[in-house]
Structure 1
């Protein structure tokens, strides 16, 4: 079991939704968290205020992680502020759903850039620091859509499936170093994105989930902490947190 006290984590897209829950759970376990956001400045500032009031050590950095130079700046600021990086959680993601016939080149590239290319950008910048850690962890937040596909989501599915293949290959390369690399594949999680789905469609989705409910962001966050704290012999794996929807 790794002692997470005073470890330093970067959480991309860490100000809202699943990312916010991950930030809180890590901070509550003694981790110093760098909250990355792109456009959610208000949410990041509120989260910082709330967590600092609870005595947590957190710091926010604005960066578009689909851009490699901004990703390098993010890691540089994290190291300048906290002195190290032990954990990288690649959580940033967007959707631009449409059937393939209507999918524009712009929305294909944007989803691939934010969801997949960002993982290269942040990891390449953070890896030298992770290799210096005694408990280096890379956790990529993929999706059930990357495993099973999703109607109108060829771009998102391709990106999330790419994260899984990336995870396995990088895990092989880093296994001897002690840095673990894993993916978490959430099912349908009760975030703003899911809440925007019309009620009748939400009901039909829940009916297909063996657990008969949506997951909670905190359940994904606890999976992240498990891999950070108890995952020293777990690498190259997919942790499926989906209520039994995909087995």
Structure 2
């Protein structure tokens, strides 16, 4: 068997930029091959794939809308066809729009829940049989600070991220007998590129959620925690929400 089939394999959604990109690179640094999932930006996804390969592992790109039920099997099947196994699932895909709740359409509400929460459910459901076959199956969901603090104009985002917290706990209990750990990493104020169309340039909640460190964190701060939770040193950690926020929120 070639070396490619001896490496752990991870699926990372929303991996074409920012935190998702950093997660893919952190996992690659730990010797993991990565399936990079993006909704439409193939150029950015392929650039991340090249960075993963430069780190010494293998990468493959899938363009898919995680909110579509059919996408989950496409993504998981791609991982199995390309690498022959699946060990880690990182549900990172997210959209963070802002709009007053009374002006929010049902379609706008459902778009966010579909990507953040439905997508995590669908991919987890498709991945479970293969994660169960891994000696160290792990799921890491990426939450958000406002799920715990609230935020104006983000009813859909807050609800979706809070739902991910509940889903994490439910899955940890249900999947423990199958050897799968499930945890959530909740980033706080992270310095990211907000030039694309799915993020507010200056989110209103940033003025309310000050860090104790006096600075924003980096995508790499979040990624290092994800790599830990997905790795062999964290097999006794499951059902947990880990806050990476510089002390902006103290649970």
Distance in 2 (CA, whole Å) between partners of 1:225 and 1:86 is 12
Cα distance, 1:202 vs structure 2: 9.3
Counterpart residue number, 1:62: 63
Distance in 1 (CA, whole Å) between partners of 2:23 and 2:151 is 25
Gaps of 5+ in 1: none
Counterpart residue number, 2:212: 210
Distance in 1 (CA, whole Å) between partners of 2:54 and 2:174 is 40
Deviations 1:106-144 (A, max 9, x none): 110100100100011100111100000110000000111
Distance in 2 (CA, whole Å) between partners of 1:96 and 1:228 is 29
Deviations 1:162-209 (A, max 9, x none): 0000000110111122210000010011112378228xx798457x21
Distance in 2 (CA, whole Å) between partners of 1:239 and 1:105 is 31
Counterpart residue number, 1:227: 229
Distance in 1 (CA, whole Å) between partners of 2:85 and 2:44 is 25
| Alignment pair present for 1:241 and 2:244 | yes
Distance in 2 (CA, whole Å) between partners of 1:48 and 1:166 is 29
Counterpart residue number, 1:92: 93
Gaps of 5+ in 2: 1-5
Paired residue total = 240
Cα distance, 1:231 vs structure 2: 1.2
Q: 1:124 to 1:203 in 2, by over 3 A?
A: closer
Distance in 1 (CA, whole Å) between partners of 2:178 and 2:84 is 20
On the 8 A contact 2:139/2:181 being kept in 1, the answer is yes
Distance in 2 (CA, whole Å) between partners of 1:82 and 1:66 is 24
Stretches (4+) displaced over 2 A: 49-56, 193-196, 201-206
Distance in 1 (CA, whole Å) between partners of 2:71 and 2:175 is 25
The SS at the match of 1:133 is coil
Aligned with 1:196 (options 174, 195, 201): 201
Name the TM-score, length of structure 1 as normaliser: 0.92
On the 8 A contact 1:96/1:107 being kept in 2, the answer is no
Cα distance, 1:70 vs structure 2: 1.2
Distance in 1 (CA, whole Å) between partners of 2:155 and 2:192 is 21
Q: 1:203 to 1:184 in 2, by over 3 A?
A: closer
Name the TM-score, length of structure 2 as normaliser: 0.91
On the 8 A contact 1:11/1:33 being kept in 2, the answer is yes
Q: 1:80 to 1:234 in 2, by over 3 A?
A: same
Cα distance, 1:148 vs structure 2: 1.5
Q: 1:38 to 1:203 in 2, by over 3 A?
A: closer
Counterpart residue number, 1:136: 137
Deviations 1:211-245 (A, max 9, x none): 11111000000001111222111111000000111
Q: 1:33 to 1:146 in 2, by over 3 A?
A: same
Q: 1:150 to 1:55 in 2, by over 3 A?
A: same
Q: 1:203 to 1:64 in 2, by over 3 A?
A: closer
